[in-house]
Structure 1
């Protein structure tokens, strides 16, 4: 079995504490103020971009809200800006909207505002993340019945439309329609006070919020790449909550581990040789010692993944076998492909994202060594978020180098439709596979209901993992948050996407 140690941890820890000691650090924040430290800066704060978790954790249910929320306990649909909903025909859903809600700019929240947000999210010229992902492949046409009644028409039967609309954050009707906004205006318990690029985001409580008033009046969100630095900021009082603490750093009574609905994956660029050969893609999976990574680089409670969703997601296929560690078989597959003229010795670059999860760099350094031991020619390139997103999202350079990409896939919505279409269909915004059979499976499953929907999604997951082998699944992830002892906060499975400031208070 392959083993490792975390050589950087002690050095980073010393750096963190010397950094803290070199500046004036305040004591714990006043009872109405809070500082949260995360891994990286959001890409944008446009209400239609919350399908990216780095954006959602600032916006979702803080600045902006959705028609419905999903329960973190069981994924059931719960009221938010809509108080009731019903399917009123095969191709229509009616939503009753909450009374007495206004946007931060004073505009009334009504059916017309929702219609504007829905049209904006689907505008191809804006390339909204929610339109490219969750709402991809369906045309939603809003009909304003009256101020508090909206009917949404679909172009095919959509049995889980309310679930999908849990991803549509509603911004003010005055949000620009021709460009992305950096100044989001929502209905949430907080409004944006300032975004200082590269430094911080500050939020302040909205005094006309329709719901229960939050205990925290002012919240500051900072970002630091190193786990030990984030952890040290809580210890010194520079922050009260720090997310994504690495296992080697998360050893105190203030560190709380929880499943975060994320699955760590290496996405294979299947269009570029030698990765266009299935034997090479199979060898990638066989070359990785997942058991050796658990409890060393990844959290001891991380679970080896068979596919890119958790067992709780509708459509999960329990019959897909976990990859075994067999470097000898991997070498044999590469030799066979080489004998058939496949350019297996071509350099393959591994693109990683700094801070995507704790020990992200260390995990890929270990995997790079494993792949090299199995006969791959691999180079590692760690990227900041913006250049990494260019590798994640289409369009890509036609003359690009063969690559695999470190990413995470989350699904807190409870249905496979929130994972498969954007990531694994030919026209998906982040998909590196073009397979008509898989396209048909995913399309048919998305339109089906009940047992047929489940069967088709299970077949799609099996095809992806066993027949196509487009991914190297790693682990269903566990996250650690360090929380100051005087703070009341229990992170749930959605905490990777939502900070949920209104649930936080001091003891």
Structure 2
């Protein structure tokens, strides 16, 4: 069992660092809000918002989508599109909002959406939304007139409007054949500056079509240490700080909220010894999840067995949570070893610094648990960029067996936003190549109603129980520290979307 005392030394060290490293900043002004997050965005391209560290800056701040999803129930809400209808199995029509302009003064119209859709699905650019949410189908846009858009799909997409909630629309001047660092959208804020390694500055857009922001300027900065982020709110250097670690959540200004993320270890099961099911089962039995809750993970986290929350359509309620059984884990490794499986091969645990509070501490604890049952496990903590190289394929044929610390979020409410790109042979973050899983997910994605739900549930059962393709950990809870001078309540989408327009000073 892991005890809270294991964190005291690091907490004292951080406190000592803070006393010398922080300087007293200027007081917050009513026309500026500063938000501190864990890490710098990978890019600020409108087509890369499938990565949360990009989306939280761009989505509904700088760029907007045709529709939004209600954080309370996942319902599809109008945004740049005001209405839509399905004409036939492969054809949808969208009516677009009139009187909308991009930050450069150009008009938002159906042609702009057609261009954004073509760009997002262009494999030569490598857009995250094309590699993830829109992966596995073809999408052809047609501008019937300025405010009428028709989208045809290669195969049936029964929830196409939901999927388009992930497609951020950039201005027509956005390069058609390359990524950009200067996004031009229709949102309430325009990009003012991206100072690499330091901050992103946004400024309110005077000609925004909707309700104007209460605060004219926003700065997003990043700091790796939870205690540093928390202290920045206390000193007035920032007004909102995300991802506060449990041991640092000591203020009445700390707000805990479910964030739709599920933490897990991705198993690279193409490489021995992880290609043996007994070894993958032993990995799961070796982890004391109860001991991790309330120590390195927030006490509000709940043990997970599949990579979506119960609120997601397709969730399987009949999958049991893994017990902690180190003796059974040792026996399975002995059995596999006797059968010739190279179970003593070194397995690398790739962790990402700052992926969630206590990310390194959690991986250190898991490494110790794996070593305890007989795994040869080495931990390597990585910054975001090299970690993304491990997350996103294609993967080199010659590589060490590995487990990757990651999270999967689903605020869209349907399993199709989780399964295809992460657990199919063509998925951009998938290490699986199982035709039976591919078939289940493909049939589920094209189905509706009870059939859709049943097929997704079968897919989750296959991944978690029959094949054991993952090491699920927890459905996560996030803590944000919010200045008492501010009106702001984070919702379940806050991990991917900092809704700056909703923020005001008291």
TM-score by length of 2: 0.99
Tell me the equivalent position of 1:11: 13
Superposed CA offset, 1:314-365 (max 9, x none): 0000000100000000000000000011110011010000000000000000
Superposed CA offset, 1:221-249 (max 9, x none): 10000000000000001000000000110
Tell me the equivalent position of 1:249: 248
* Corresponding residue pairs, total: 504
Tell me the equivalent position of 2:194: 195
Separation in 2, partners of 1:194, 1:90: 44
- Answer yes or no: is 1:78 the counterpart of 2:77: yes
Separation in 2, partners of 1:161, 1:242: 34
Separation in 1, partners of 2:391, 2:162: 25
Q: Show structure 1 runs of 5+ residues with no match.
A: none
How far 1:51 moved relative to its partner? 0.2
Tell me the equivalent position of 1:416: 415
Separation in 2, partners of 1:124, 1:274: 33
Tell me the equivalent position of 2:48: 49
RMSD: 0.7
Kindly report which structure 2 residues correspond to 1:43-442, keeping only aligned pairs within 5 A, or say none.
43-442=42-441
TM-score by length of 1: 0.99
How far 1:24 moved relative to its partner? 4.3
SS of corresponding position for 1:8: helix
Separation in 1, partners of 2:3, 2:286: 14
Superposed CA offset, 1:256-301 (max 9, x none): 0000000001000000010000100000000000000000111111
How far 1:3 moved relative to its partner? 3.4
Superposed CA offset, 1:19-63 (max 9, x none): 11xx34112x11110100000000000000000000000000000
Superposed CA offset, 1:139-168 (max 9, x none): 111111110000111112211000000000
SS of corresponding position for 1:106: coil
Separation in 2, partners of 1:46, 1:342: 45
Separation in 2, partners of 1:373, 1:18: 39
Separation in 1, partners of 2:2, 2:242: 28
Tell me the equivalent position of 1:38: 37
Separation in 2, partners of 1:60, 1:494: 11
Kindly report which structure 2 residues correspond to 1:466-481, keeping only aligned pairs within 5 A, or say none.
466-481=465-480
Tell me the equivalent position of 2:25: 25
Runs of 4 or more off by more than 3 Å in structure 1?
A: 1-4
SS of corresponding position for 2:202: strand
